[in-house]
Amino acid sequence: MPDDERYNDIEQNINEVREKISQAAVRAGRNPDDIHLMAVTKTVESRYINHAISCGIDLIGENKVQEFLSKEPELNLQNCKAHLIGHLQSNKTKKIVGKVDVIQSVDSVSLANEIAKRSLEKDIVSKILLEINVGNEESKFGFDYDEIYERVCEISEIEGISVQGFMCVAPICDDKKVLRHIFSNMYRSYLDIASKKINNVNMNVLSMGMSGDYCEAVLEGANLVRVGSAIFGSRNYR
């Protein structure tokens, strides 16, 4: 068994994150049980991930198709689901469809079509989230905030996929008020689309908030937060 500091910190880190999520939920008048904690495992080695799973993590998020597929045989995923949360290139779609429970990072209609095509080939329906570029940042992937309704309608018509909600990555920002404003816009849009009852669209998931801003996201309505470094420590990119 590995016995290093990083490994030993994981359990306490998870407990601390859960505690903060609960506090933010209570502050917002929400039930803490309604917020799902995802452990983001990019660059994290399998033994650390399995340890997090043994500490109660039941959802992990990976950014890259190849990295997930190479770690997958070593992971104890019997009681833990995996989502893809990073930008997906069309030519990798075939490899990931059917391998993860949800693809959160659908950022174009053409990608949605490609996922649908590969899903139909495998005789499955893939659950997807639409990634929204909330900050309208040029550097970020995702649909423009202003075109959400049109794109949801367009994508809802595609057979082989099922929209389950939205995902976003907030801009890097130290101002908590600005962050809360962004997250609250996302939440409003999420409720708005849900209220339209579009065929084949089930608004169940609002995935927002990372290590630096998950409390603000929970305060504003997130029901899935994606936390990496606050659980596993800061990342070593090789």
Ligand X SMILES: *Cc1c(COP(=O)(O)O)cnc(C)c1O
Give min distance, CB of 40 to ligand X, in A: 4
Rounded CA-CA distance 225/10 in Å is 17
Stretch that binds ligand X, among 10-18, 107-115, 119-127, 220-228 (CB under 6 A): 220-228
Place of tokens 């998020």: 61
Under a CB-based contact definition with an 8 Å cutoff, are residues 162 and 128 in contact? Answer: yes
Q: Helix, strand, coil: what percent of the chain each, to 5? A: 45, 20, 35
Q: Does 63 bind ligand X (CB under 6 A)?
A: yes
Rounded CA-CA distance 23/25 in Å is 5
Of the candidates 43, 48, 45, the one whose C-alpha atom is nearest the C-alpha of residue 14 is: 48
Nearer to ligand X, 64 or 151 (CB): 64
Cα of 180 vs its chain's centroid, Å: 18
Give min distance, CB of 119 to ligand X, in A: 22
Nearer to ligand X, 190 or 214 (CB): 214
Q: What is the DSSP letter of 73?
A: G
Nearer to ligand X, 107 or 158 (CB): 107
Give min distance, CB of 199 to ligand X, in A: 28
Nearer to ligand X, 142 or 221 (CB): 142
Q: Does 228 bind ligand X (CB under 6 A)?
A: yes
Nearer to ligand X, 169 or 206 (CB): 169
Binding site for ligand X (CB under 6 A): 40, 42, 63, 85-86, 169, 210-212, 226-230
